[in-house]
């Protein structure tokens, strides 16, 4: 750590300014409010006593060593994060450009069938990026809360898989594209009454019926909230108005639950005649959890990282579970435009009618989430789909469209393909983010040696 300390001690005062350290981490994608950074800095600074009011904070060698005991801080300063510093900056700049390009777009309409969504501010727009290491970039309304809606479905499916395993789960819910809308009463269920897949409403009701089925519903919901807190590094909120609106208008979903129950395709107490309605209302409650684009990006990064959460390093889901979830998202995650999205983007994604889209980049171990309430005819965010399409096109991230590209690539296309570890022409795609030279921590001119601190 001595070399790192010297590189950041730009005025040779034998200290490192806190602001300088935070700027170095920010350049690598780590925010100052990252809980790991906050904890490491807080512990180190507390060991040195109080500063005089208004005095810039700084770290001596011992305190700097304490901060760098936090693995993500040390790896960031060494240029060892999952997405190298220069590549993360390039990706962030591209997100900024796409955001600016799409900001004037007012096409599409907000969801009309849930009153709280119908009355939502239609022109909000935010984008958040999160990697497996917790590198983040946010722009626009990335911190604005919204009800998660259908983007809860991949994670409900994951919870059911973790508890019962794929064999049992898929006796209750299938794995095939339904060919219809997410709430189609005729195409949602197969001939046996089984939901076609976990990404449609009937399938989500069925998978949620497998989440902690033997405890009271309040405890079941608490377990779901706890899982989301582990994914995001903070607990979700709850949109009470949306829950009440969905409960009052969700007759079709209750009908689906009744149809499944009538065919013994809903795990429930057969003696409880209200069980189908309770199953539907549990689904409404989970859809009404409130998140923001930044938190949802962390949940998506957990899937991209094989089930390990970015901020805690905790394994929330098994690798097998994460893989199964991404597989189903890949063919059924974008409502009845899933095939079109797969052709244009080729990456697993899930959307919700509140206007969110979560796209997972497994090879890059990162996720991109957009929030923009105006929807297309399929129920997907207009801007959200376009963000995904433009990013994939700009960085050559479609897993199939560049196969065999070879020598005919122009130099511009080749440069784009190499960005973010893209597969170079006439070579194989790396299993992860391509390696690059570790950036040197720049030595910028700094302020004068700090005054002493009060002890």
Domain that holds residue 276: 98-395
Question: 156 and 296 in one domain?
Answer: yes
Question: 57 and 196 in one domain?
Answer: no
Measured between alpha carbons, how far is 230 from 314 in angstroms, rounded to an integer? 8
Question: 287 and 323 in one domain?
Answer: yes
User: Any residues with CB less than 8 A from the CB of 46 and at least 6 apart, and which?
Assistant: none
Looking from the CA of 335 toward its CB, the CA atoms found within 13 Å total: 22
Asked whether residue 445 is domain-assigned, the answer is no
Asked whether residue 168 is domain-assigned, the answer is yes
Asked whether residue 422 is domain-assigned, the answer is no
Question: 385 and 342 in one domain?
Answer: yes
Which stretches of the chain score pLDDT less than 50?
406-413, 423-455
pLDDT of residue 405: 55
Question: 112 and 183 in one domain?
Answer: yes
- Binding site, by residue number, is 150, 201, 246, 253, 283, 335, 353
Question: 143 and 52 in one domain?
Answer: no
Question: 60 and 112 in one domain?
Answer: no
| CATH number of the domain within which 70 lies | 1.10.238.210
| CATH number of the domain within which 128 lies | 3.40.710.10
E strand or H helix at 160? helix 153-172
Which letter does DSSP use for residue 350 in this model? Answer: E
pLDDT of residue 183: 61
- Total residues found in the chain within this entry: 455
Query: Structure tokens of 385?
Result: 């789909």
Asked whether residue 72 is domain-assigned, the answer is yes
Measured between alpha carbons, how far is 147 from 356 in angstroms, rounded to an integer? 9
Question: 357 and 244 in one domain?
Answer: yes
Asked whether residue 199 is domain-assigned, the answer is yes
H helix and E strand count, the chain? 18, 10
Crossing angle of helices 217-232 and 275-287, rounded to 10°: 20
Let me know: does 206 contact 260? Beta carbons within 8 Å: yes
Asked whether residue 221 is domain-assigned, the answer is yes
Measured between alpha carbons, how far is 122 from 262 in angstroms, rounded to an integer? 40
In the block, tokens 């009800």 appear at 147
Measured between alpha carbons, how far is 369 from 414 in angstroms, rounded to an integer? 26
pLDDT of residue 403: 75
Mind giving me the DSSP string for 285-328? HHHTEEE-HHHHHHHHHHHHTTTB-TTT--B-S-HHHHHHHHHH
pLDDT of residue 81: 98
Q: What is the CA radius of gyration of the chain?
A: 24
Measured between alpha carbons, how far is 428 from 167 in angstroms, rounded to an integer? 34
Measured between alpha carbons, how far is 147 from 354 in angstroms, rounded to an integer? 6
Number of compact structural domains in the chain: 2
- Binding site for substrate, by residue number, is 150, 201, 246, 253, 283, 335, 353
pLDDT of residue 37: 97
Tens digits of residue pLDDT in 118-129: 999 999 999 999
Measured between alpha carbons, how far is 63 from 142 in angstroms, rounded to an integer? 33
Asked whether residue 437 is domain-assigned, the answer is no
Question: 294 and 187 in one domain?
Answer: yes
């Amino acid at each position: 750590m001595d070399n790192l300390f010297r590189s950041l001690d730009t005025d040779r005062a034998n200290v490192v300014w806190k602001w300088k350290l935070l700027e170095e981490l920010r350049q690598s994608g780590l925010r100052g409010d990252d809980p790991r950074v906050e904890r490491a800095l807080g512990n180190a600074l507390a060991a040195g006593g109080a500063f005089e009011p208004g005095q810039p904070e700084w770290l001596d060698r011992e305190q700097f060593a304490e901060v760098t005991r936090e693995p993500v801080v040390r790896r960031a300063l060494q240029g060892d994060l999952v997405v190298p510093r220069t590549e993360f900056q390039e990706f962030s700049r591209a997100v900024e450009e796409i955001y600016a390009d799409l900001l004037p777009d007012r096409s599409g309409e907000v969801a009309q069938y849930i009153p709280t969504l119908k009355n939502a501010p239609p022109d909000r727009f935010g984008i958040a990026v999160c990697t497996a290491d917790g590198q983040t970039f946010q722009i626009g309304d990335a911190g604005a809360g919204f009800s998660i809606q259908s983007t809860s479905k991949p994670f409900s499916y994951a919870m059911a898989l973790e508890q019962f395993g794929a064999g049992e789960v898929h006796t209750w819910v299938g794995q095939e594209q339904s060919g219809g809308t997410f709430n189609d009463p005729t195409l949602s269920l197969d001939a046996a009454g089984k939901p076609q897949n976990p990404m449609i409403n009937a399938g989500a009701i069925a998978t949620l019926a497998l989440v902690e089925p033997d405890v009271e519903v309040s405890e079941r919901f608490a377990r779901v909230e706890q899982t989301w807190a582990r994914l995001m590094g903070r607990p979700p909120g709850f949109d009470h108005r949306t829950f009440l609106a969905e409960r009052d208008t969700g007759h079709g979903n209750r009908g689906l639950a009744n149809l499944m129950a009538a065919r013994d395709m809903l795990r429930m107490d057969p003696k409880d005649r209200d069980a189908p309605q309770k199953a539907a209302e549990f689904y409404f409650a989970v859809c009404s959890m409130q998140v923001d684009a930044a938190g949802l990006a962390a949940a998506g990064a957990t899937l991209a990282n094989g089930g390990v959460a970015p901020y805690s390093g905790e394994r929330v889901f098994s690798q097998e579970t994460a893989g199964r979830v991404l597989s189903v998202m890949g063919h059924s995650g974008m409502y009845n435009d899933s095939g079109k999205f797969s052709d244009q983007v080729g990456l697993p994604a899930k959307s919700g009618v509140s206007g969110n889209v979560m796209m997972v980049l497994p090879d890059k171990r990162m996720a991109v989430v957009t929030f923009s309430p105006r929807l297309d005819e399929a129920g997907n965010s207009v801007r959200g789909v376009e963000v995904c399409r433009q990013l994939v096109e700009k960085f050559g991230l479609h897993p199939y469209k560049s196969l065999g590209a070879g020598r005919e690539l122009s130099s511009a296309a080749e440069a784009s393909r190499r960005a973010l570890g893209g597969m170079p022409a006439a070579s194989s795609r790396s299993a992860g983010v391509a390696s690059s030279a570790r950036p040197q921590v720049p030595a910028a001119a700094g302020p004068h040696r700090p005054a002493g601190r009060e002890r």
